[in-house]
Amino acid sequence: MLDTADFPAANFPSDRELVLERIIDVPAAKLFKLWTTPERMGEWFCPKPWRVTEARMDVRSGGDSYIVMEGPEGEVMPNPGVYLEVIENQKIVFTDAFTKAWEPSAKPFMVGIITFEDLGGGKTRYRAVARHWTVEDRQTHEAMGFHEGWGIVADQMAEVAATL
């Protein structure tokens, strides 16, 4: 198994990385559960009025995922990918560089690193990192609304997780 600890953030160019971090008043296990349960993705995974219309996930290192988001104007955004590392209740690393079974994608865009740090007392440090292949990809993602969109998603996730 690839251990992303072998690739610390200090060695990754900061001009290709976007980061969202929050302290969430929900235990890490509940947040991890939402990230790994396809049936729950539609409740929180994209900012409204966008919605998830399909979610298939084989949550394990090397497993594939396929999430389709649809926008209010009929936009359809399929998101195929592969999990690189999964540590229960702690970390999920995924990429769109592969679509499934290690089939290379037409245009890799990013690696996502989601961490859930248990702070005790039912609180979690939630960190979402998007590492991009190029500065241009990072700029595109930022212009698409990374901070606002991923922030809304984190808030939606926290709301849903609080009901589990």
Residue 4 lies in a domain: no
* 85 in Cβ contact with 3 (< 8 Å): yes
Residue 5 lies in a domain: no
- 74-99 pLDDT, tens digit per residue, is 999 999 999 999 999 999 999 999 99
Structural domain of residue 68, as residue ranges? 17-161
Q: What are the DSSP calls for 58-86, one per residue?
A: --STT-EEEEEEE-TTS-EEEEEEEEEEE
Residue 11 lies in a domain: no
Check residue 104 and report its DSSP letter.
B
7 has a pLDDT exceeding 70: no
Residue 24 lies in a domain: yes
Residue 2 lies in a domain: no
- What is the pLDDT at residue 9? 52
Residue 70 lies in a domain: yes
Question: Domain of 68: which CATH number?
Answer: 3.30.530.20
Q: How many domains does the chain have?
A: 1
Residue 1 lies in a domain: no
Q: What is the mean pLDDT of the chain?
A: 93
For the chain, give the longest Cα–Cα distance: 44
Run of H or E including 123: strand 123-132
Residue 97 lies in a domain: yes
Count the neighbouring beta carbons within 10 Å of the beta carbon of residue 96.
Answer: 18
**pTM for this one?**
0.91
